[in-house]
Amino acid sequence: MSDRYSRMLAEYAASARWEELPPPTVHEVKRRVLDSFGVALAAFAEPAPKAARHYAYRWPQPGGATLWGTPFTSPADVAAFANGVLVRYLDFNDTYLSREPLHPSDVIPALWALAEWKRLPARDFLLSVAVAYEIGVSLCDAASLRRWGWDHVNYIGVATAAAAGRLLGLPAEGIEHAISLSCVPHAAMRQTRAGELSMWKGAAAANAARNAVFAALLAEAGMTGPYQPFEGEMGFFRQLLGGGGFEEAPLRPLADRRPPRRILDTYVKYWPVEYHAQSAVDAALQVRAELQDPARIARVRIATFRAAYEIIAKDPEKWEPKTRETADHSLPYIVLVALLDGRVDRASFAPERFTDPAVRQMLLERTELVEEPELTAGYPEGIPNRVEVWTHDGGHFVREVRYPRGHARNPMTDDEVADKFRRNVEGLLTAAQVDRLSDAVWRLEDQDLARVAELARL
């Protein structure tokens, strides 16, 4: 059933070994697990996670996978979806930017659910996450889906299917079937992120990962997938890449079966906004610190790069957001609320804030946004955004940021990642619970914490 790419990805996943994982990769995986738990619990009471959980409650399974934040267990694919929505909903989980953007930690809830349900060692889980990051990030370097109208979560599906197959101990042929059963039946359209955004913006990746777990379990049971999923006559390349294919160079480390390291190239988010706006928040807050009084603002100008313009600025809905999902994907709104409030947090995306008539008036009448070629040339190596403010009293303030905090060229420290976790779970976990959970994650590969299922109660 092979084509060259399904075989390459499957053989890479099947050949991965814990003993060959570089220590920095293991450490970074643990940082992303802790970060994922924090952003997930912070979203626990939000509408989309509640809807996903209410669906999951219909599927009780004793001894299944835990719905995070509850004692309830369900089938692994159901928990993968519910917990995946938690991780993604606040737009606060990690990111990678290249030909295609990705939130690679979207793979974590699905692989955790499968490892918990199967009572697998934590080291198997950590290895599977490293493999999924390696595949997902490499695919983002190899081809753009967005250019052809398809969603980045298609790469989450492929990466999760390969890693799930590895978790289940499938041979390379079985992992190929899992990949095919994930990507051919479940191509996700970019309409998820066009115009006014719905709850599905925060659920699409969870759905892709859920489908991948389902596909891996089907392959384990003996189901075969469509032949030649990438290079076939009606396959991935023709349908999702406009008849083109993958650039070869980014996939060479997979073909050579090099140990996973690409997680080190990805970025932890410092602010709960779409990643292309992270540097704009930094720039806006620097301006606000100088400005001090937002009542002085007469006019705002945002200069950005093409990808940011196309994803979080060009649609009319981004200038009059009506949903939380649109607001945290609106570059003009994000910059303006940072300038007005001197902060960007969950309260920034409350309906009463983004529908405030004074904010709307400033967005529509006193805020300008332009795409500048020199900034576009700096992407994706950086994400350069410039914020300018003119004041009523003749003042002029300018700040430009290329590498926001958390970027691979400006990484957060372990203490900053831990502090982000603590802030996200404040009021939800006690100090003792925070310490126990943090300690368990930092020691996830230790023998006394051998199985993922043993950690579910935390």
Number of domains in the chain: 2
Inside any domain, residue 45 = yes
3-state secondary structure of 299: strand
Whether residue 131 is found in the same domain as residue 252: yes
Inside any domain, residue 233 = yes
pTM for the structure as a whole: 0.94
Average pLDDT rounded to a whole number, residues 375-386: 96
If you average pLDDT over every residue of the chain, what do you get? 96
pLDDT, one tens digit per residue, over 402-447 is 999 999 999 999 999 999 999 999 999 999 999 999 999 999 988 5
- Is the bond leading into 229 cis (omega within 30 degrees of zero)? no
**Per-residue model confidence (pLDDT) at position 447:** 54
Whether residue 265 is found in the same domain as residue 298: no
Whether residue 238 is found in the same domain as residue 279: no
Whether residue 152 is found in the same domain as residue 199: yes
Whether residue 160 is found in the same domain as residue 301: no
The CATH number that applies at residue 296 is: 3.30.1330.120
Chain centroid offset of residue 452 CA: 22
pLDDT, one tens digit per residue, over 249-286 is 999 999 999 999 999 999 999 999 999 999 999 999 99
Whether residue 215 is found in the same domain as residue 293: no
Whether residue 309 is found in the same domain as residue 331: yes
Average pLDDT rounded to a whole number, residues 184-194: 96
Domain residue limits at 357: 275-401
Inside any domain, residue 308 = yes
The residues near 123 (Cβ < 8 Å, ≥ 6 apart) are 18, 445
Helix crossing, 204-221 with 76-89: angle to 10°? 160
Inside any domain, residue 408 = no
**Cα 83 to Cα 65: distance, rounded to the nearest angstrom:** 10
Average pLDDT rounded to a whole number, residues 89-113: 97
Inside any domain, residue 414 = no
pLDDT, one tens digit per residue, over 298-340 is 999 999 999 999 999 999 999 999 999 999 999 999 999 999 9
Average pLDDT rounded to a whole number, residues 91-104: 96
Whether 449 shows a pLDDT value over 60: the answer reads no
Whether residue 179 is found in the same domain as residue 286: no
Answer whether 240's CB lies under 8 Å from 59's CB: no
**Per-residue model confidence (pLDDT) at position 359:** 96
Average pLDDT rounded to a whole number, residues 53-71: 97
What is the bridge-based pairing of β-strands 396-401 and 385-391?
antiparallel
Inside any domain, residue 18 = yes
Inside any domain, residue 211 = yes
Whether residue 370 is found in the same domain as residue 451: no
**Cα 152 to Cα 148: distance, rounded to the nearest angstrom:** 11
Long-range contacts for 143-147 (Cβ within 8 Å, ≥24 apart)? Answer: 143/99, 143/100, 143/241, 143/244, 143/245, 143/246, 143/247, 144/99, 144/100, 145/100, 145/190, 145/240, 145/241, 146/100, 146/101, 146/190, 146/311, 147/242
pLDDT confidence band for 453 (50 / 70 / 90): confident
pLDDT confidence band for 451 (50 / 70 / 90): confident
**Per-residue model confidence (pLDDT) at position 392:** 96
The CATH number that applies at residue 231 is: 1.10.4100.10
**Per-residue model confidence (pLDDT) at position 368:** 97
Whether residue 148 is found in the same domain as residue 66: yes
Inside any domain, residue 207 = yes
**Per-residue model confidence (pLDDT) at position 243:** 96
Residues in the chain: 458
User: CA-based Rg of the chain, rounded to a whole angstrom?
Assistant: 22
Whether residue 229 is found in the same domain as residue 113: yes
Whether 456 shows a pLDDT value over 90: the answer reads no
N-term to C-term CA, the chain: 42
What are residue 187's phi and psi, to 5 degrees?
A: -65, 130
Whether residue 52 is found in the same domain as residue 156: yes
**Cα 104 to Cα 10: distance, rounded to the nearest angstrom:** 18
Whether 448 shows a pLDDT value over 70: the answer reads no
